[in-house]
């Protein structure tokens, strides 16, 4: 319940994430990372992941998130430009 209130997410939604029924948006992932003091890649690790590969995984996830963020920013910018032209 603390996670729910700190991340401003419903308990049902968090349960759905845990049970693999829902996926999180980048903003939800960001909230969860902040509340849990975790890096995004840590949510995708399994107990069998070799620890020497964790740095590689972290860098790849960081790049992926930056790329996604850039794509969303450019898409939003283009939408705003199109709205201005109308």
Residue-range definition of the domain harbouring residue 71: 47-86
Residues 32 and 58 in one domain: no
Residues 8 and 32 in one domain: yes
CB 43 within 8 A of CB 18: no
Residues 2 and 29 in one domain: yes
Number of domains observed in the structure of the chain: 2
Residue 18: both structure tokens together: 């845990």
Question: If you search the block for the tokens 């992941």, which residue do you land on?
Answer: 49
Residues 26 and 57 in one domain: no
Tell me, what's the pLDDT at 50?
65
User: What digits encode the pLDDT tens for the residues 44-85?
Assistant: 777 775 666 767 777 777 888 888 888 888 888 888 887 777
Tell me, what's the pLDDT at 57?
74
Residues 25 and 55 in one domain: no
* Phi, psi angles (nearest 5°) of residue 6: -70, -35
Separation of alpha carbons 75 and 66, rounded Å? 14
Residues 26 and 60 in one domain: no
User: What digits encode the pLDDT tens for the residues 2-47?
Assistant: 888 899 999 999 898 888 898 888 888 888 989 999 888 788 777 7
């Amino acid at each position: 319940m603390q996670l729910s209130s700190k991340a401003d997410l419903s308990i049902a939604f968090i349960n759905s994430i845990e049970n693999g029924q829902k996926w999180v948006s980048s903003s939800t992932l960001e909230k969860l990372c902040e509340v849990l003091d975790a890096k995004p890649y840590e949510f995708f690790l399994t107990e069998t992941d070799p620890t020497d590969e964790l740095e590689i995984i972290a860098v790849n996830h960081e790049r992926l998130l930056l790329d996604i963020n850039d794509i969303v920013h450019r898409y939003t910018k283009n939408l705003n430009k199109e709205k201005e032209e109308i």
